[in-house]
Amino acid sequence: MFKDYNMNQLVLPLDVEIKLQENDIAFSIHQLVESIPSEAFAPFLQQTGCPAYHPRMMLKLILCGYTQSAFSGRRIEDLTKDSLRMMWLAQGYQPSYRTINRFRVHPLTKELLRQCFVQFRCQLVKEDLIAQEAIFIDGTKIEANANKFTFVWKRSIEKYEASLVEKSNQLYEELLQQQIIPAIEQEVETQLSITELKQVAEKLEEVVADYTERIEQSEEAQERKQLRSERKTPKQQWKQVNEWITRKQKYEQDFAIFGKRNSYAKTDPDATFMRMKDDYMQNGQLKAGYNLQIATEGQYTLAYGIYANPTDTKTLIPFLDEIERHYFQLPQHIVADAGYGSEPNYEDVRNNRECEPVIPYTHYRKEQSKKYQQDPFRTSNWMYDEELDTYICPHQQKVTFRYESTQEDKEGFQRTFRIYECEDCTGCPFREKCTKAQEGKPRKIKVNENWEQQKAYVRTKLSEAKAGTLYRQRKVDVEPVFGCLKANLGFTRFSVRGQSKVENEIGFALMAVNLRKYGRKRKSSANFSTHTSKNRNHLMRFRFFVWTRTIYVPASSYYL
């Protein structure tokens, strides 16, 4: 006997909700978005024009699409037509891919995504899924939606600009010597500004116009020929100056785009060329990308940030500022790998934020090796006489204090070094192994006392059982999130351009990873599900869902 199967009989579809599994991810998405306060959606409200789709619905659709690895607006539109969970979330509506894409990159959507992460963290705290004693920070680079071969390098622009300045100054001096143009009052003596170059071009244009007028008034062919010959040089110079003006304007635009970066992509100026890990040819190929920073706990992303700086060291402080400003209060422990260990970062976390950095410095592991500790040429292994403020080198010579030196980096952070110099390096048998200084010059060492104190603090902190456990947990907490994002979800490249749009897209992707993980762990009776709160006896009611509205049919009139 077969089950009844008849393609010729009319069957009205039941409410799509009852066809979903009890722990379907759509219920988690629905409850998460519904937990966002209504005030967050108020900026989307418009008093004129055609009524818009509700932002709650649009947010649910895009989140659900990203959980299914659908990163295209067209693909999400298709899912609203053939996916049960998408039909239920859309309640019969089918927004076009243009509407979906516009909402996804809308500037106001960033605040909705921030609310999603805040509400999601509140739910994790409520269910005791996170302990709130530490956050685990790490970064990864994701390729931008930009051409790999249309790049601009800051060093090249600086080189071209220096050549332009040299040529323009030389031409200006020649024009002054030949008394073709009068002297111009310069703002900067070393180079001509764009305004000053325009003044030079105007003077040359007047000279060319004067020659042209004289040629037109002259009746002798030989004289006109001579005037054309004389006009040729200033005319070429006028064209050259106009070209320099255009180039200088372009260089100023380039420097404005660069900011503190060293490169940018022409097709996505916000993207920076970085060295990616997926370098299959092993030739150090650079690609336009963004540096994604995330803070996790329990393998859930609690906050994120997009930065154009390829190094993680310089992203920690702005990322912590972002977390405190928009997401949550920092816990007691900040855990990260050695790529974040630096003097400014330690000082900021300890002094400004009053937290404990569980962050090793670059050579922490190397210093633990027996070979390093027994190396006599490592200055950290030299004997130090505190009373005399001197070090003793392997040749038993005194390395005495000479002076202090202060250095300031590009970010304005100042470091103070104490400079020590060996009294006599003449005839030292260890010279080749001890120093690379030229013959006749003594060995010098620089000691940053603040940095040495911070390293001692880190060594002590990491030797504690609590901090050691947290640092070992870092690998199994933050790294799997990147694996789920790239390998499981398949998000390896952005599909939009511009940092603001990229921030929205990665926000959807990271929340999709959170929801997928939460859905797998959630029990049927979890508070996050709204489906269990409904009376499932409504299945016995003859309730039918016909696209955009629900129709109730009495049992007595139900005939097919």
Could you tell me the pLDDT band of residue 181, with boundaries at 50, 70 and 90? confident
Can you tell me the mean pLDDT for 296-308? Answer: 94
| pLDDT, position 531 | 44
Phi, psi for residue 119 in degrees, rounded to 5: -65, -35
Can you tell me the mean pLDDT for 429-456? Answer: 84
User: What's the rounded Cα separation, in Å, for the pair 438 and 427?
Assistant: 13
Can you tell me the mean pLDDT for 148-159? Answer: 92
User: Cα–chain-centroid distance for residue 471?
Assistant: 24
User: What's the rounded Cα separation, in Å, for the pair 60 and 89?
Assistant: 7
Residue identified by tokens 């190396």 is 375
Query: Does pLDDT of 522 surpass 90?
Result: no
Task: Give me the residues paired with residue 333 across strands.
Answer: 134, 356
Alpha helices (runs of H) in 332-369, residue ranges in sequence order: 343-347, 364-367
Name the 3-class secondary structure at 405: strand
Neighbouring residues of 29: CB distance < 8 A, sequence distance ≥ 6:
60, 63, 64, 67, 89, 515
| pLDDT, position 283 | 62
> Please, what is the Cα angle at 17 between 11 and 21, to 5 degrees?
105
Nearest to 236 by CA among 300, 160, 166, 171: 171
Query: Does pLDDT of 331 surpass 70?
Result: yes
Neighbouring residues of 356: CB distance < 8 A, sequence distance ≥ 6:
332, 333, 334, 349, 350, 461, 467
Query: Does pLDDT of 549 surpass 60?
Result: no
| pLDDT, position 281 | 59
Average of per-residue pLDDT values in the chain: 86
User: What's the rounded Cα separation, in Å, for the pair 194 and 196?
Assistant: 5
Rg from Cα positions in the chain: 34
Can you tell me the mean pLDDT for 197-202? Answer: 90
Neighbouring residues of 391: CB distance < 8 A, sequence distance ≥ 6:
379, 382, 383, 384, 385, 398, 399, 420, 445
Query: Does pLDDT of 437 surpass 50?
Result: yes
Q: What would the pLDDT profile of 95-133 be if each residue is shown by its tens digit?
A: 999 999 999 999 999 999 999 999 999 999 999 999 999
Q: What would the pLDDT profile of 269-285 be if each residue is shown by its tens digit?
A: 999 999 887 666 566 67
User: Is residue 298 classed exposed, middle or buried when 0-12, 13-18 and 19+ CB atoms within 10 A define those classes?
Assistant: middle
Long-range contacts of 47-52, Cβ-Cβ distance < 8 Å, separation of 24 or more: none
User: What's the rounded Cα separation, in Å, for the pair 122 and 167?
Assistant: 63
Query: Does pLDDT of 533 surpass 60?
Result: no
Contact 263, 301 (CB under 8 A): no
Neighbouring residues of 231: CB distance < 8 A, sequence distance ≥ 6:
208, 211, 212, 215
What percentage of the chain reaches a pLDDT higher than 70?
A: 90
Query: Does pLDDT of 527 surpass 90?
Result: no
| pLDDT, position 543 | 35
Torsion of CA 364, 369, 370, 374, to 10 degrees: -40
- Tell me the helix, strand and coil percentages in the chain, rounded to 5: 50, 15, 35
| pLDDT, position 439 | 74
Highest mean pLDDT among 255-269, 440-454, 519-533: 255-269
Could you tell me the pLDDT band of residue 36, with boundaries at 50, 70 and 90? very high
| pLDDT, position 528 | 43
Nearest to 116 by CA among 242, 22, 30, 12: 30
| pLDDT, position 5 | 66
| pLDDT, position 517 | 93
> Please, what is the Cα angle at 412 between 408 and 413, to 5 degrees?
65
- Helix (H) or strand (E) run with residue 176 in it: helix 154-177
| pLDDT, position 41 | 92
User: What's the rounded Cα separation, in Å, for the pair 523 and 529?
Assistant: 9
Contact 546, 47 (CB under 8 A): no
User: What's the rounded Cα separation, in Å, for the pair 406 and 517?
Assistant: 50
Paired tokens of 131? 């302990």
Query: Does pLDDT of 530 surpass 80?
Result: no
Could you tell me the pLDDT band of residue 236, with boundaries at 50, 70 and 90? very high
- The pTM of the full predicted model, rounded to 2 decimals, is 0.84
| pLDDT, position 410 | 81
Query: Does pLDDT of 155 surpass 60?
Result: yes
Query: Does pLDDT of 393 surpass 90?
Result: no
User: What's the rounded Cα separation, in Å, for the pair 552 and 544?
Assistant: 6
Count of C-beta atoms within a 10 Å radius of residue 337: 18
| pLDDT, position 113 | 95
User: What's the rounded Cα separation, in Å, for the pair 76 and 63?
Assistant: 10
Paired tokens of 554? 């009495």
Contact 161, 193 (CB under 8 A): no
What is the bridge-based pairing of β-strands 333-335 and 134-143?
parallel
Q: What would the pLDDT profile of 42-66 be if each residue is shown by its tens digit?
A: 999 888 888 889 999 999 999 999 9
User: What's the rounded Cα separation, in Å, for the pair 343 and 453?
Assistant: 10
Between 280 and 343, the more confident residue is: 343
Q: Which residues of 465-490 are buried (b: 16+ CB within 10 A; e: fewer)?
A: eebeebbeebeebbbbbbebbbeebe
Contact 351, 343 (CB under 8 A): no
Torsion of CA 199, 201, 202, 205, to 10 degrees: 160
Between 420 and 285, the more confident residue is: 420
